[in-house]
Structure 1
């Protein structure tokens, strides 16, 4: 499409467009069309992220009190159109607990503020502090995450790689 627009514009303007700054008019036109294409791509990504964040909100357990999730980014992966990446921050209020759940994809987590105690199925509880990170395999049972502090919030960044349309957080219904 880019080349069709360029050729159409060149055919209509090349006879009347002067050389600017020592560059032929088609060089200026190339740069203009590339900038226009980049801006359209950014707009499309922002629109997709906004639409996707609405669908992501539907997958969040509404009754989790003391936990705030903020969608930062969500998009399909260019080289793997059936896969997507989702980035969000999770803030856990002082003393709050996130119960048993699973995730619909592989997760990389980076602690931004505070500290949490986290326990995965068949593993010991681990305490993470700001600056530390960990991973969680897709569909692994996360027994609980607790904010260790009674006075300060804990906040972390989660980057999820999953199938398109996968439910990011799936609460476990049975008790562990």
Structure 2
């Protein structure tokens, strides 16, 4: 039986339409990665994404970009339409946590996993 890595869990914090930008919504979430957790490759539609590492260390890669490692206190942005190939907790023993903020088209799904191959 093949073993699979644990995956992330998402806890919504705030979702609100932007009153001064018609058709756009601000959403913030906490993403928890248990030890050795890895997210499926995914996209965030046309959302602009900001991520801040609250705890632990996360390795991340967008299509066409090098793999980067982010530690507690680091942050990054993802442009609309980016393909997120890799997001993983680098630790086998400690959790990692991110604050993630999306500015998206109202009603758009915030995370769409790639189809299983």
TM-score calculated relative to the size of structure 2: 0.91
Partner of 1:96: 37
Q: How does 1:33-72 map to 2 (within 5 A)?
A: 65-72=6-13
Give the drift of 1:81: 2.9
What's the secondary structure of 1:98's corresponding residue? coil
CA distance in structure 2 between the partners assigned to 1:73 and 1:146 by the alignment: 24
Partner of 1:126: 68
Q: Gapped runs of 5+ residues in structure 2?
A: none
Partner of 1:84: 25
CA distance in structure 2 between the partners assigned to 1:121 and 1:170 by the alignment: 15
The ranges of structure 1 where at least 4 consecutive aligned residues each deviate by more than 6 angstroms after the TM superposition are none
| Offset from partner CA, 1:47-103 (integer Å, 9 cap, x none) | xxxxxxxxxxxxxxxxx9431110000000011131000000100010011121000
CA distance in structure 1 between the partners assigned to 2:9 and 2:88 by the alignment: 14
2:51–2:99: 8 Å Cα contact kept in structure 1?
Answer: yes
Number of residue pairs matched by the alignment: 112
Return the index of the structure with the highest Cα Rg: 1
Name whichever structure is richer in strand by fraction.
Answer: 2
Partner of 1:152: 94
TM-score calculated relative to the size of structure 1: 0.61
Give the drift of 1:112: 0.2
Partner of 1:25: none
Q: Gapped runs of 5+ residues in structure 1?
A: 1-63
Question: Whose relative contact order is higher, 1 or 2, with alpha carbons under 8 Å and at least 6 apart?
Answer: 2
CA distance in structure 2 between the partners assigned to 1:121 and 1:139 by the alignment: 10
